[in-house]
Structure 1
Amino acid sequence: MTAKTRSHWKEYGTALCATLITATAGTCYGWPSPTLSYLQSASSLIPTTSDERSWIASIMILCSALTPIPSAYFADRFGRKTALLLGAIPFILGWVLVIVAKSVAVLYVARMFSGLGYGIVYTVAPMYTGEIATSEVRGALSTLITLMNKVGILSQFCIGPFVTMRTLAAINLILPITFVITFIFLPESPYYYLKFERSERAERALKNLRSGDIRLELKNIEINVQEDMKNRGSWGDLLSEATYRKALWISLGVFTIQQLCGSAAVIAYAQGIFEATESHIEPYQASIYLGCVQVATCCLSVILVDRVGRKPLLLLSALGVGLMNGVIGTYFYFYLTNKASVTHLHWLPITALLIYIVCYAVGLSTVPYVIIGEMFPTNVKLYASCVAHIYTGISMFAVQKLFQVVDDAFGIYTVFWGFSVFSILGLFFMLAVLPETKGKSFACIQAQLRRDVARDNASKLMTVEY
């Protein structure tokens, strides 16, 4: 085994331990699917209304929008490692509250704590994995964050239907505690140490992450950090600099497509959706199939993102989820208006949802986080990441909350048709404006964005003159 291969294995091992906390976030994300079905059953010890269940599902994501800015500041001041360890605390408190909950109000508070942890994790984890990775595996390690999240979701689909709500919470509590015990021994980001001129600590951290001679890489990191410190960015730069503005517009556009294709609602209400189809397969079994397919496809995405490229995966993903949303919506329309006409198609909704998950997981689920990490230079990346995560949290909350509202008011088919329209519109958006960043350095990506901005300005000038 070469030194380069050993280094890559070390990077993957470190990232795997670090992303245990994103698996914890995944358990919080997938927990409503089996739990909401229990809460609406006759055996529930905490009776809930339809509106209360939608709040239980969505309030976590709303609260996740509160922590990106303070957690980014904390990570920049006290270190990425310390911030991630801090992020485990709200998860632990959240699961403890679920274990002792005897009212809907306590469940709300538990989900709020989980949301705070969710926001910390998805702000800091991409920073940490991006800074410990070499360029050869940067894309794969970035998608590993999402893969571990899907593993956490799958665990809820597999365990939730067979245990009580409190037992499930107790099992989930093991994960953040394990993360703290293992991650506390891992190195801090060498970028963070060099930012505060702690060269010896940076060297020790890099030695723990690499095999072989690290002197050249350490020097290159030091030069990059010094350059970034000379060109310190600000929140205002995201809007005042044309290149950053374009990158932000493109990134938020991709995240909009990610959310408006309906993924957050499909995961949170998966078991309820399968119950509505009256398929021959048990709803919990269908949810497990969905989770397994999601994890397997995310593994495929980790392999493909640095080989096929970012843009082709996103385009394929948007097309697939758009078509499947349309199929699911059409099935539910006929199911609710002329049930006899689709009785023989009982297999269609679960098949379409599984294909939907494959298409979503291979691109829209993972690649947007790679895009946000590559479209901005280091001096403004932190600010862009905060904006993206706040925006995503609010969008995800809206999708999860409004799913139940629109379903109750206009029918579930209306929801899926809406998801289909947004997905197809997103396909054309990415086809028109999204650049390919595979295999390009940060400098090359910025140069391409500057050329695109110059071309856009020239086109506007010609239009005005005409």
Structure 2
Amino acid sequence: MTAKTRSHWKEYGTALCATLITATAGTCFGWPSPTLPYLYSANSSIPTSKDEGSWMVSIMILCSALTPIPSAYFADRFGRKTTLLLGAIPFILGWVLVIVAKSVAILYVARMFSGLGYGIVYTVAPMYTGEIATNEVRGALSTLITLMNKVGILAQYCIGPFVSMRTLAAINMILPISFVITFIFLPESPYYYLKFERSERAERSLRKLRSGDIRLELKNIEISVQEDMKNRATWCDLISEATNRKALWISLGIFTVQQFCGSAAVVAYAQVIFAVTKSHIKPYQESIILGCVQVATCCLSVILVDRLGRKPLLLLSALGVGLMNGTIGTYFYFSNKANMDHLHWLPITAILIYIVCYAIGLSTVPYVIIGEMFPTNVKLYASCVAHIYTGISMFAVQKLFQVVSDAWGIYTVFWGFSVFSFLGLLFILAVLPETKGKSFACIQAQLRRDVARDNASKLMTVEY
């Protein structure tokens, strides 16, 4: 085994331990799917209405928009590693509250704590994995964030239908505790140390992450950080600096497509959606199949993202989810007007294809993009803005799913998701640059060229 291969294995091992916290976030995200049918049932120890259930789903994501800014400050001041360790605390508190809950209000508070942890994780984890990785495997390591999230969701689908709500919460609490026990021994990002001119600590950190001679890479990182930190960045630099503004515009556009294609609603309400269909398979069994396909496809994405590139995967993903959303909406529309028993296989097939298409691109690649498009001095700020925006968008999708379904029919929701997916396809095709295999410096140079070209085009248009 070569030194380069050993280094890659070290990077994967470190990233795998780090992303245990995103598996915890996945358990929180997938928890409503097996739990809501129980809470809605006559046997529930905590009687819950559908409106209360929709708040229970969406309040977690709404609260996740509260923590990116504090997380950015902590990550910048105390380090990425320390902040991720602190992020485990709200998850643990959330599951403890679920175990002792005797009212809907306590479940709301539990979900709020989970949301706070969710915001911390998705602000800092992409940064940490992006900064510990070499260019060759940076995309794959970044997609591990989403893969582990899907593993956490799958665990809910597989375990939730067979145990009580409180037992499920107790099982879920194992993950954040395991994360703290393992991650506390892993190195901090060398970028963070060099940002504060702690060269010896950065060297020790990099030696734990690599095999062989690290002197050249350490020097390159040091040069990159010094270049980025010549002028201390502020929040305003995200807008005032043309390359940052373009990177932010592209990143927010990709996250818009990710959220408004309906993924958050499909995952959280999976068992409820399947209950509406006339499939011969039980809803919880369909959810398990969905979760397995999701994890398998995310594994495929980890392999493909550094081979095919970011843009092709996103284009294929947006096209696929757009077609499947349209298919599912059309099925539900005609199922209200005619006997569709002979097409009982169509909803589960379309949703599974949807999950495959979503998982290979839109599920994973946006977190790679946010880790690659910004220089070190503004990366935290960009991550904050992106995840606040994502949290608000996801909240809107999850909350309005039930509201719009009740008012205008579930088919209207899926047709809306389809329209957003196709608009996103056009956006990705028009503005997204390819970043596969490029260093942070090369990506910034490409953005500067794109900005210069855009300015030249505007000037020619004005003159004409």
Q: Secondary structure at the match of 2:361?
A: helix
Q: Which amino acid aligns with 2:233?
A: G
Measured in 1, the distance between the counterparts of 2:122 and 2:311 equals 22
Measured in 1, the distance between the counterparts of 2:97 and 2:369 equals 36
For residues 20-419 of structure 1, the aligned pairs below 5 Å read 20-338=20-338, 340=339, 342-419=340-417
Residue 447 (structure 1) aligns with: 445
Displacement of 1:219:
1.9
Moved more, 203-212 or 105-114: 203-212
Q: Secondary structure at the match of 1:364?
A: coil
Measured in 2, the distance between the counterparts of 1:190 and 1:463 equals 45
Displacement of 1:217:
1.6
Measured in 2, the distance between the counterparts of 1:2 and 1:394 equals 46
Matched, 1:431 2:457: no
Displacement of 1:274:
0.3
Displacement of 1:231:
2.8
Displacement of 1:463:
2.2
Displacement of 1:244:
1.3
Measured in 1, the distance between the counterparts of 2:131 and 2:450 equals 27
Measured in 2, the distance between the counterparts of 1:443 and 1:233 equals 17
Instruction: Indicate if the aligned counterparts of 2:224 and 2:441 stay in contact, CA closer than 8 A.
Output: no
TM-score normalised by structure 2 residue count: 0.99
Q: Which amino acid aligns with 1:399?
A: V
Measured in 2, the distance between the counterparts of 1:85 and 1:385 equals 18
Residue identity over aligned pairs, in percent, reads 88
Q: Which amino acid aligns with 1:378?
A: T
Instruction: Indicate if the aligned counterparts of 2:187 and 2:205 stay in contact, CA closer than 8 A.
Output: yes
Measured in 2, the distance between the counterparts of 1:5 and 1:231 equals 36
Measured in 2, the distance between the counterparts of 1:164 and 1:271 equals 16
Displacement of 1:459:
2.1
Per-residue CA shift, 1:337-376, capped at 9, x if unaligned?
A: 22x1x21000000000000000000000000111111111
Q: Which amino acid aligns with 1:114?
A: S
Displacement of 1:269:
0.1
Q: Secondary structure at the match of 1:230?
A: coil
Q: Which amino acid aligns with 2:151?
A: V
Measured in 1, the distance between the counterparts of 2:315 and 2:228 equals 33
Moved more, 163-172 or 194-203: 194-203
Q: Secondary structure at the match of 1:451?
A: helix
Q: Secondary structure at the match of 1:337?
A: coil
Per-residue CA shift, 1:117-154, capped at 9, x if unaligned?
A: 00001111111111111111100000001000000000
Q: Secondary structure at the match of 2:9?
A: helix
Q: Which amino acid aligns with 1:390?
A: I
Specify every segment of 5 or more residues in structure 1 that has no aligned partner in the other structure, as ranges.
none
Residue 2 (structure 1) aligns with: 2
Displacement of 1:37:
1.0
Q: Which amino acid aligns with 2:428?
A: M
Residue 462 (structure 2) aligns with: 464
Displacement of 1:449:
1.9
Per-residue CA shift, 1:16-70, capped at 9, x if unaligned?
A: 0010000000000000000111111111110011110000000000000000010
Matched, 1:421 2:419: yes
Measured in 2, the distance between the counterparts of 1:208 and 1:278 equals 54
Measured in 2, the distance between the counterparts of 1:452 and 1:218 equals 29
Measured in 1, the distance between the counterparts of 2:240 and 2:429 equals 26
Measured in 2, the distance between the counterparts of 1:13 and 1:45 equals 42
Displacement of 1:204:
1.6
Displacement of 1:450:
2.0
Per-residue CA shift, 1:185-215, capped at 9, x if unaligned?
A: 1111122222222222222211111111222
Specify every segment of 5 or more residues in structure 2 that has no aligned partner in the other structure, as ranges.
none
Measured in 2, the distance between the counterparts of 1:275 and 1:406 equals 17
Aligned residues between the structures: 464
Instruction: Indicate if the aligned counterparts of 2:328 and 2:411 stay in contact, CA closer than 8 A.
Output: yes
Moved more, 176-185 or 447-456: 447-456
Q: Secondary structure at the match of 1:436?
A: coil
Moved more, 114-123 or 433-442: 433-442
Measured in 1, the distance between the counterparts of 2:243 and 2:133 equals 25
Displacement of 1:381:
1.3
Moved more, 184-193 or 253-262: 184-193
Instruction: Indicate if the aligned counterparts of 2:135 and 2:438 stay in contact, CA closer than 8 A.
Output: no
Q: Secondary structure at the match of 1:75?
A: helix
Q: Which amino acid aligns with 1:98?
A: V
Q: Which amino acid aligns with 2:271?
A: Q
Q: Which amino acid aligns with 1:79?
A: G
Displacement of 1:382:
1.2
Q: Secondary structure at the match of 1:407?
A: helix
Measured in 1, the distance between the counterparts of 2:243 and 2:85 equals 34
Instruction: Indicate if the aligned counterparts of 2:130 and 2:372 stay in contact, CA closer than 8 A.
Output: no
Measured in 2, the distance between the counterparts of 1:137 and 1:457 equals 34
Q: Which amino acid aligns with 1:316?
A: L
Measured in 2, the distance between the counterparts of 1:36 and 1:397 equals 17
